[in-house]
Amino acid sequence: MLQIQAGNFKFAREEQMAISTLKIQGMTCNHCVMRVAKALKALPGVQDAKVELQKGEAVVTYDDATITPEKLSFAIVDAGYKVV
């Protein structure tokens, strides 16, 4: 939970963590896995990204108030891979 207090003002919000599994085409080695993970983890709101070569997928934990699955997909595409 995020809590902010300043004077008489107090704000609290439960963080909205979501998990998305994205299927990825084009990864052929561990370098590809590291590249996708780095691209995802660099996005604001992403808490964790686990990328698996054998499954061809990324499981991403993120704040859904900050980022959308579409933006996650764009980051993968920008890294040079295809989201299916």
How far is it, in rounded angstroms, from Cα 12 to Cα 34? 35
pTM to 2 decimals?
Answer: 0.82
Domains of the chain: 16-83 (3.30.70.100)
Angle at 30 between CA 29 and CA 36, to 5 degrees: 100
Residue range 35-64, pLDDT digits in tens = 999 999 999 999 999 999 999 999 999 999
Per residue in 9-40, pLDDT (tens digit) is 555 455 678 999 999 999 999 999 999 999 99
Report d(CA 42, CA 24) in Å as an integer: 18
